[in-house]
Amino acid sequence: MTDIPEDKLALVKYLAEFAVRPMFRTPVHIQPNERGIRSWEELSFPSSDGTPLEAWWLKAENSNKLIIANHPMPMSRSGFTGHWGQPWSNVDDIEIDFVKAYAHLVEAGYHVLAYDLRNHGLSGAANGGICGIGRYEWRDCVGAKLFVDTHPELSRMTVGLLSRCTGANAQFEAIQRHPELFEDVRCLMCPLAVSMEALMGEFAKLQGVSEYMDVMDHEQVKLGGYRNKDMNPQAFAPAVKLPVFMSQVKDDLWTDNPRDGQCTFDLLGSEEKELFWIEGTTRRFDGYNYFGNHPEKMLSFFARYMG
């Protein structure tokens, strides 16, 4: 392994910890009724490996259409609390509100099953608290779909997926591992699927330790996680065959976009796919709020494939 000065090693260890361990949990900080959702209930169901997952079922009147939704690391089903200050503001100091996007979907006639990934929000702990950026969390995507398929009401609904960032990576792998489980899914919206080589590579440049990526990989594996290249979504993207609407922040300072996002998109196995570039910002977290503030493309996509 590369020799490294002690001060640089401390930075690399910090980045490795950031990459694979949520250093805090983001609370479920917004309730559905605060965004005008009148009918909803709290649910829990197991991941495919038994990890308990906490969720909302947000209900639309007279509808048989369902969106299964998850979230990025280190967020929760409601979003992110950077506006509350530390420790969340150490990542970014803005609020992310996913419930606003769910409210648009409910108003448009979609039920939403929004769940917290393992080690996030109110869901159970697993894998020593380590996040695989999809490599463990694919089991949560499988558990959510199995729950829907065996539920007396949800199993009768037309299903679409809204899988963000870590959740998108997880969804790609779930589809590769269990294609039969997702054959009846109509479409997938996947904002900001993340290549960890790109993300952590940019962070390493900002911290002046880009020559020590091999050390970072070693530290991540020591923690119980994966090397950065093993957490990229590109390995699983060809297995995705259903219609896809993907979005990325074009000038994202945290990733090598537009090259990286375009690479993931090009590898998707879907015949029908669209990549939307969010412009006018360099902040990745602005991309997570985009469809809550500008729901038109999201609603148009689901309407096209879910009737």
Residue 148 has pLDDT above 90, yes or no: yes
**Region 207-236: what's the mean pLDDT?**
97
Pairing of strands 79-81, 158-162: unpaired
C-alpha closest to that of 163 among 17, 45, 57, 291:
291
Q: What does the pLDDT read at residue 16? A: 96
**Matching residue, tokens 């375009």:** 262
More confident residue, 3 or 268: 268
What is the average pLDDT across 233-245?
A: 98
**DSSP state letters, 88-148:** GGGT-SSEEEHHHHHHHHHHTT-EEEEEPPTTSTTSPP-GGG---TTTTTHHHHHHHHHHH
**Across 259-285, average pLDDT:** 97
- Closest to 256 (Cα-Cα) out of 206, 218, 208, 189: 206
Evaluate whether 40 touches 56 at the Cβ level (below 8 Å).
yes
Share of the chain above pLDDT 90, in %: 97
**209: amino acid identity, one letter:** V
Mean local confidence (pLDDT), 152-166: 98
Domains of the chain: 6-306 (3.40.50.1820)
Q: What predicted TM-score, i.e. pTM, was given to this entire model?
A: 0.97
What pLDDT is stored for residue 257 in this prediction? 87
Backbone dihedral region for residue 240 (phi beyond 0: left; psi -120 to 50: alpha; all else: beta): beta
Terminal Cα distance for the chain, rounded: 55
pLDDT tens per residue, range 166-189: 999 999 999 999 999 999 999 999
- Calculate mean pLDDT across residues 294-306: 98
Q: Is pLDDT at 287 greater than 70 in this prediction?
A: yes
Which residues have CB under 8 Å from 79's CB, separation 6+? 26, 29, 30, 71, 95, 96, 97, 98, 99, 288
Mean pLDDT along residues 154-160: 98
pLDDT number for residue 23? 84
Q: Is the pLDDT of residue 2 over 80?
A: no
Tell whether the model's pLDDT for residue 1 goes beyond 80.
no
Percentage with pLDDT > 70 across the chain: 99
Q: 177: part of which helix (H) or strand (E)?
A: helix 166-177
Q: What is the mean pLDDT of the chain?
A: 97
